[in-house]
Amino acid sequence: MSGRAGRPGAKRAYVAVVCAVLLVAGVAGAVVALRGDGAGRPASRPAAAPTPTDKDTPDPNGVLSFRDAPPDTFYLPRTVGSDDPDDAPPYPFSLLAAAASGPRGRGAVKDVTVDFDLTALRGLADIAWNEPQHRCALSGYRVTCDLRTITYGETVSFDRPFRVRPRPGLALGGAGTVGVTVRAANAATLRHTTRVVVGWPYLAAGPDRTAARVAPGSEVSLTPAFANRGDTDVAGGVTLAVSVERVPYPEQQSFLRTRYGNCRYDKPVDATKALCAFPGPLRAGEAFETDGPFTATVGAQAQTGQLSYRVVRSDDVPVYDTLPDTAVRGTGPPLGLKPAAPGEKFTGGGRPVGRWGYASLDFRTPVVHDARAAGFAIRGRVGQVLTVELPHPRGAPGLDGSDMTVEGVTLPEGVSLVPFGPEGTGKVSEYSACAYQPSPEGPITCPMLSYGAALLRVRIDERVDGARGTVRVRTWPDDADRTNDAAPILVEYTS
């Protein structure tokens, strides 16, 4: 998935909630109990906790670790859909720099280079370098990236540091190993070896469902089903990510029940995600469904919502799907799997297609639409340039699940808009900045994102006592109360 959260026309930004479910081979006609240790950890190797010191001190000695380790298996598809870098098979991992003396040490790991030894791919694929932001160079079947300096506490992430184009006629199966070596001037060398397998485990899930007129406060349930439609087994198992969509307002938020004892959840009550881990493999051609549903309680004032899941390889779990080791476990029996009939109902997602499978249950309640604008004050002195964060309107379209809504602003007399520079020239994106763009709501348009505030930059040009402006929210066609679509903007002079 790509694209900017809140960008017009972009896909929804989903906060994935993860339940890792690893499959046991050779299961036929019976329920398979998922009884792993419940850790729910992706393939990662966090740095050891350093010993704190009394105060911040310079430390010339650094430590590098894999915050998220490279995969144990690199799958080389026999065909790749296009020359687009996003269609290349991934090799994700991230590096964390730390001070050897502890979290209060100041400094950086210096002269960091990352070397990928891909000689095992000779004769199997053609190689191109990728991710130019890491200053990578290709020489034969070696890719070297010059990261230079990583400040203590910073993380550097890779997803596709090299791009492969498989050659025709490859035979399925193991094809040696590739390796990554990380060197630095003031930190120990870090290495990882990855097994190469020719073939692609095409993960798929589904089908999508919808539910209309769900009562607020009631429960909705979804039973995940998924399959490996590829030509190769998933050696290390898979992770099943289950989530309820997050919304800005507590009264509209739905929550997961924390029922499965082999899953970890982000909270003991009112959870929005969970994580469960179990061993594999998932054989090519196999399909499973869970032996129990995931259930969410619908928010008391929710208008819409979504319960979704994604199945991914356990060594390819995104960072945002992880949970800390201290996350609580469910209170009920463990979740199990039972065989399901494979079929076209299972669809793959991600890039390359089949990197994961995804499906969802979208639901709507009978709650009446009523968008309510939130007023605010501009506080400052004459001549001052200020940046104001607009408060979120209540019940607005777009803030109940989709990417965004729009507010129009008419500034008070004596106040003028100071536009932000073009995207890339400052720290504010065009997707969060108010700008001159007339609309039925006002002469200035402000994009209101589900998370994060729209930013309005203004100058107080002169003092005009009693001046008032207006903020008006773009609302639903069937809004129940049009009188609260607008709210006042006041000016409070500090001198």
CA separation for the pair 438, 193 (Å, rounded): 57
Q: How many CB atoms lie within 10 A of CB 427?
A: 7
- How many other C-beta atoms can be found within 10 angstroms of the C-beta atom of residue 80? 18
The mean pLDDT of 117-141, rounded to a whole number, is 86
Q: What residues contact 15, with CB distance under 8 A and at least 6 apart?
A: 243, 245, 246, 272, 273, 320
CA distances, 19 to each of 77, 283, 386 (Å):
27, 19, 44
Distances (CA, A) of 379 to 39, 117, 384, 492: 49, 58, 10, 5
Identify whether the C-beta of residue 197 lies closer than 8 Å to the C-beta of residue 122. no
Domains and CATH numbers, the chain: 18-41+201-364 (no CATH), 57-156+175-196 (2.60.40), 376-493 (2.60.40)
Q: Which residues of 312-334 are buried (b: 16+ CB within 10 A; e: fewer)?
A: bbbbbbbeebbbeeebbbbeeeb
Contact of 310 with 206, CB cutoff 8 Å: no
The neighbouring-strand residues paired with 256 are 271, 296
pLDDT at 407 over 60: yes
Over the stretch 77-106, which tens digit does the pLDDT of each residue have? 887 655 666 677 888 899 999 999 988 888
At 287, list the tokens. 């399909």
The answer to whether residue 18 scores a pLDDT higher than 60 is no
Q: What pLDDT, in 10s, does the model give residues 252-288?
A: 889 999 999 888 899 999 999 988 777 788 999 999 9
Return the half-sphere exposure (C-beta side, CA atoms, 13 A cut-off) of residue 194.
26
What does the pLDDT read at residue 397? 56
Q: Among 73, 25, 18, which residue's Cα sits nearest to residue 277?
A: 18
User: The pTM is what?
Assistant: 0.66
Three-state secondary-structure class, residue 290: strand
